[in-house]
Amino acid sequence: HTAGALRLDDANLAHPAVAQRVRAEKVLALRAPVPKGELAPALAKEADALARQAGAPQRVVVFCDTRDDAVKVAVQLEKLQKGTPVELFVGGRRVHERQKLEDWLQRHGFLAGSPSPEKTAFLVCTSAAEVGVDLDADHAVADVVAWERMVQRLGRVNRRGNVAAQVVLVPLEGKERAPELREASLALVGA
């Protein structure tokens, strides 16, 4: 039921800030499925490639379905991008840890509205970053999850419409992920 739903009308869409956000460019690339054991290295490799292709500092977010994969991706990125800031954003943090993370996100330009980063940085996340925080990354790499979660993830990329964002999806092989992969992939390409 959509009665009373908030909608953008023509006057809203004509506002420059709204138009910039609604038309924010996000180019999607769907990679071939990988086996579970190769997912974390594949995600790290894709994030590394996104950061290396740009001339200016980049904010790259990597979304992982599991904490274990997130930790592995962070370790891989630290090896591939020596000296480049890499931060984990996973659930279960104490108050002082949340404040420390917020400071890191602000300093490296991941909080929407914060200054552009002075150097490239990577934020490796689980579902903890899909809702409840106003993240804004230049590019993203992610495994494939249910469509509702993919929408949240995509909303954390080029949130302000300031860049030509690239989003790389790396699905898992196997039948257990096939329905989610099919649903998300078809919805993303508009089929």
What is the spatial distance between Cα 125 and Cα 64, in angstroms, rounded to a whole number? 6
pLDDT at 191: 43
pTM for the model: 0.84
What is the spatial distance between Cα 180 and Cα 36, in angstroms, rounded to a whole number? 15
The residue type at 161: G
Which has the closest alpha carbon to 73: 108, 38, 102? 38
Q: Mean pLDDT in runs of 10 for the chain (191 residues)?
A: 74 68 75 94 96 85 95 96 91 78 91 84 90 87 90 85 86 70 58 43
pLDDT at 147: 84
Tens digit of pLDDT for each residue in 56-104? 889 999 999 999 999 999 999 999 999 899 999 887 767 778 889 889 9
C-alpha triplet 71, 76, 79: angle, nearest 5°: 130
Asked if 103 and 126 touch (Cβ cutoff 8 Å), the reply is no
Asked if 130 and 167 touch (Cβ cutoff 8 Å), the reply is no
Sign of CA dihedral 144, 148, 153, 154: positive
